[in-house]
């Protein structure tokens, strides 16, 4: 077992193990990748205040997200095609998250179906919904999430149209996989991955094949995914979904204070300040820079979570100290899964937990509830001072 001391170690092993097209699928942002890069580099602009001679004994990272207990305020974000990074990946990642005392979010675009995951784990998980043009599919998906006893619905709002990722096009990444020469060469260099994948029957989008009208096999699926996200999604539809679901609702992909107020108005339980890990609007603010203005707008009225760019416990500490009640990790968990399966996800969570716990202590704090902006040095212009571009009154 290699010595894993940081998330970057898992990423190195993951890169060597998984076919290039799946590594690139995970490790890309849209277009110039400016937002993807700044999601992480903007955390470095926040400094922590080292404090001394303060009792550090009896610390805890326990917290709550939407009223549910978590061992640290870090849940697993929904990641499509997780089961292509490691066979049965969604089931294994969910087990790792639950064993660690935190939550797992299953993507609509998962390989293992919602029923499959529910029958292989002991506790409820969260389900992430994409709104498709096929409304019957959406309604049925919500019913399936209820039947699977999911304990929250995470409705993603920032991907009704796909941001372009150059590498996916250049690698010919598609569902189903096209057997081009370079794809075959790529797959042939990762024999351990290929051998393991051959042992599982789960190699397609489990929530969709056999459930969406007209999608019975792989050849119809590719046409379906290209056309199915509904670009007409609006706040009325969000209200309708809230009503149909009837349980805890988390709105994911909020990056603007105005949208945060809309989320509040529709009665969501929480929002995730997110730019989809830099995979959608390139040139948008990083999540951590967008967070302060959203907290100013709605922070005392709705639970605010954050994802995008978190690679360490220090990043989690900064997001929580800024005012987020919880965070999600996407890629950091996928690096672990792709490197070492369930054990790798556990390792990713352990690394982040240790970093969070020790850094919190070195800031002179013993509990998550004690964290506030006081532990940080925040550049005055961190949240941005922007020109007023609203149209002048007529
Ligand atoms: C490979 C990949 C696939 C993703 N698939 C989904 C998805 O199916 N649904 C969704 O809501 N978000 C999806 N996301 C976004 C994540 O939920 C999350 O917002 C993002 O990964 C957070 O940024 P981070 O990876 O820097 O932690 C995906 C992200 C990645 C990297």
CA distances, 228 to each of 182, 215, 279 (Å): 28, 12, 18
Look at residues 104, 109, 141, 147 and name the one whose alpha carbon lies nearest to residue 126.
104
Domain 7-47+69-356 = CATH 3.40.50.720: no
CA dihedral 96, 101, 102, 108 (to 10 degrees): 50
Task: Please give the distance, rounded to the nearest whole angstrom, from the Cα atom of residue 279 to the centre of ligand 1.
Answer: 8
Query: Can you tell me the distance from the alpha carbon of 88 to that of 186, in angstroms, rounded to the nearest whole number?
Result: 21
pLDDT in tens, the chain (394 residues): 789 999 999 999 999 999 999 999 999 999 999 999 999 999 999 999 999 999 999 999 999 999 999 999 999 999 999 999 999 999 999 999 999 999 999 999 999 999 999 999 999 999 999 999 999 999 999 999 999 999 999 999 999 999 999 998 888 886 566 778 888 888 888 999 999 999 999 988 999 999 988 887 766 766 777 789 999 999 999 999 999 999 999 999 999 999 999 999 999 999 999 999 999 999 999 999 999 999 999 999 999 999 999 999 999 999 999 999 999 999 999 999 999 999 999 999 999 999 999 999 999 999 999 999 999 999 999 999 999 988 776 5
78, 145, 171, best to mutate for ligand 1 pocket (most atoms within 8 Å of CB) = 78
For the chain, report the end-to-end CA distance as a whole number of angstroms. Answer: 68
27, 162, 254, 277, best to mutate for ligand 1 pocket (most atoms within 8 Å of CB) = 277
**What is this structure's pTM?**
0.97
Task: Please give the distance, rounded to the nearest whole angstrom, from the Cα atom of residue 55 to the centre of ligand 1.
Answer: 38
Every domain of the chain and the residues it spans: 7-47+69-356
Look up 353 and say whether it is catalytic.
no
Helix/strand/coil for 324? coil
Look at residues 268, 239, 237, 236 and name the one whose alpha carbon lies nearest to residue 254.
268
Alpha helices in the chain (DSSP H): 7-17, 20-26, 34-41, 89-100, 114-120, 135-147, 166-171, 181-188, 191-198, 218-228, 235-245, 257-265, 287-298, 313-322, 331-362
Q: Which of 98, 120, 166, 276 is catalytic?
A: 276
């Amino acid at each position: 077992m290699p010595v894993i001391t940081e998330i970057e170690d898992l990423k190195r092993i993951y890169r060597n193990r998984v076919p290039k097209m799946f590594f690139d699928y995970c490790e890309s942002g849209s277009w110039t990748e400016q937002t993807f890069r700044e999601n992480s580099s903007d955390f470095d602009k926040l400094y922590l205040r080292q404090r001394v001679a303060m009792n550090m004994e009896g610390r805890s990272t326990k917290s709550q997200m939407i009223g549910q207990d978590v061992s640290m305020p870090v849940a697993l974000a929904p990641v499509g095609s997780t089961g292509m990074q490691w066979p049965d990946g969604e089931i294994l990642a969910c087990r790792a998250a639950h064993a660690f005392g935190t939550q797992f979010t299953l993507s609509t675009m998962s390989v293992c179906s919602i029923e499959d995951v529910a029958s292989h784990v002991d506790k409820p998980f969260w389900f992430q919904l994409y709104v498709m043009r096929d409304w019957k599919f959406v309604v049925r998906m919500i019913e399936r999430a209820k039947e699977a006893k999911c304990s929250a619905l995470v409705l993603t709002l920032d991907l009704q149209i796909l941001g372009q990722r150059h590498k996916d096009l250049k690698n010919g990444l598609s569902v189903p996989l096209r057997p081009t020469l370079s794809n075959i060469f790529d797959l042939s260099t990762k024999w351990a991955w290929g051998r393991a994948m051959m042992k599982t029957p789960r190699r397609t989008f489990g929530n969709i094949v056999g459930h969406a009208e007209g999608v019975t096999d792989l050849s119809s699926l590719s046409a379906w995914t290209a056309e199915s996200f509904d670009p007409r999604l609006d706040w009325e539809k969000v209200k309708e979904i809230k009503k149909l679901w009837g349980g805890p609702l988390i709105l994911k992909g909020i990056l603007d204070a105005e949208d945060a107020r809309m989320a509040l108005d529709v009665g969501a339980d929480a929002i995730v300040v997110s730019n989809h890990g830099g995979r959608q609007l390139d040139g948008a603010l990083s999540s951590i820079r967008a967070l302060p203005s959203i907290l100013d707008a709605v922070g005392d009225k709705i639970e605010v979570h954050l994802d995008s760019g978190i690679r360490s416990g220090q990043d989690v500490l900064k997001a929580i100290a800024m005012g987020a009640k919880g965070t999600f990790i996407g890629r950091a968990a996928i690096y672990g899964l792709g490197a070492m399966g369930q054990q790798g996800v556990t390792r990713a969570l352990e690394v982040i937990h240790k970093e969070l716990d020790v850094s919190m202590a070195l800031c002179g704090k013993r509990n998550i509830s004690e964290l506030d902006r006081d532990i940080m040095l925040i550049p005055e212009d961190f949240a941005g001072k922007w020109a007023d571009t609203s149209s002048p009154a007529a």
